[in-house]
Chain A
């Protein structure tokens, strides 16, 4: 098992290398640069800036320089947020995004599993259709619609919760963003669990459990639901990576200082180092969570063993 983990870690290095290389050159192919502002800078200023940030060197040298700094854990200075290094930006923003994302993920798993199992046990009844209908609705409504509505109703009209802002991480400020992020995930998890539970309830080994007079509770929880959780576990890898690295929509609408905003802002501003930093962080999350999920899968399903 340990050997497997080490091997997976090892194979992540070339993956990251390829992602970094492709992103680095793609970013540079895009027209414009970090200092092309609406009002053009003086040529002398521009020249100085380019020299300070090594933009005057040939591209391959810049690339090697970036790799060397990255290997030392240095993501470089941000070109746009001049007072911060990219590392500082992430150190401040990432914990915020992770808090919101993790809470949303947990909520989605609990509520989604409960709803999915509830619907599966009442397959083709009105209650089942209700759950499936709401879940489909939940997937189709985009967060940029849900977020303002929640903010309007609970923040402005009812005044129960802050309509936005981070409030230094106060609990009340997290409720609405977490719900907004969780809603589509709840819907997806519920649908996955429902389908898998229905299939598991029809499987031969559940028939065996029923034939041996085991109580319904044992049949459902022990023999059907454990099998039904497996497809959700597979989904969990990419979902966790996406949620924990923040959401541009939710962070912008609720005014939360996470890292989700950087995806778009950095790209628009040609903030080369910040774009690369985001790419590196997100890639590491994707690789890491897929590994975690594969390990979790092996714990849950004895047929999967990595040796």
Chain B
């Protein structure tokens, strides 16, 4: 599962880039729902826990000439899957760390993920913090457990993109992914970014390969 960033020109001057994105966060904060909204524009009220991890792709057009394809790893939030997480974020170009704005503990968990990503993942990884379930709070402001300002402050200090989202109403979902796409190094075309060398074996070192650094820097 090495980096699979592909960028390059297409006839007509259009640009196409491909990035690996990973979703992390406590269980039941809505990671899969965010992905389902983003990829299929659907929402299930009753969604069962993700088992293992799901791999999906979605392509968005930033403007008339620029398309970005996300390869998305939607991971399961349960504790028992934690040891597998490095496999998914190892070569990720970007990450969405999700918490539930009606559950105070979920932000702590999100902070732990951010810390782990900043320590272990690709050093140029773009991290977005998403406070999900905004619809709950819109209906009933008492349900909010995490003030927007607090999370925003934290995101600013940690250098993260920040959105409060609702997978249910789709509020800010597209915006979240678009903002990430805009921060990614789209302009770095060229062959050196097309598919890093042969992937083989398991490399558990935090900095998995130099190709990732090459493709992920210089925003």
Do they bind each other? no
